C-alpha cells in the first residue's frame, strides 16, 4: 500500500514538473521570438507511405 502511494506521488510529481517546463518554455518562446524563419519539418503523407508499403509487400 505504501509503495503504490509513493509511486503515484512520484508519477504525479514528474507529470506536473514536465507540464511546468512546457508552459515556461512556451512563454519564453513567446517573449523571445526567433527572427529567422523556423525550420519546417517535411510533411509526411501517410497515404503515400501506406501505398508504398503495400507495393513492396506484394513483391
> One digit per residue, pLDDT tens: the chain, 59 residues?
678 999 999 999 999 999 999 999 999 888 887 767 655 655 666 777 777 777 776 65
Residues 5 and 14: their CA atoms lie apart, in Å, by 14
Q: How many domains is the chain built from?
A: 1
**51 domain residue, yes or no:** no
Q: Residue 13 sits in which domain range?
A: 1-32
Return the C-alpha cell found at 41. Answer: 519539418
Residue 2 lies in a domain: yes
19 in any annotated domain? yes
What is the pTM (predicted TM-score) of this model? Answer: 0.48
The grid coordinates listed for 21 are 517546463
3-state helix, strand, coil in the chain (%, to 5): 75, 0, 25
Number of residues assigned to the chain: 59
Q: Is residue 50 part of a domain?
A: no
Residue 27 lies in a domain: yes
pLDDT in tens, 42-58: 566 677 777 777 777 66
Amino acid at each position: 500500500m505504501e509503495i503504490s502511494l509513493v509511486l503515484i506521488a512520484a508519477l504525479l510529481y514528474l507529470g506536473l514538473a514536465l507540464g511546468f517546463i512546457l508552459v515556461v518554455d512556451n512563454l519564453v518562446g513567446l517573449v523571445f521570438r526567433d527572427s529567422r524563419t523556423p525550420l519546417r519539418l517535411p510533411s509526411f503523407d501517410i497515404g503515400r507511405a501506406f501505398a508504398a508499403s503495400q507495393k513492396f509487400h506484394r513483391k
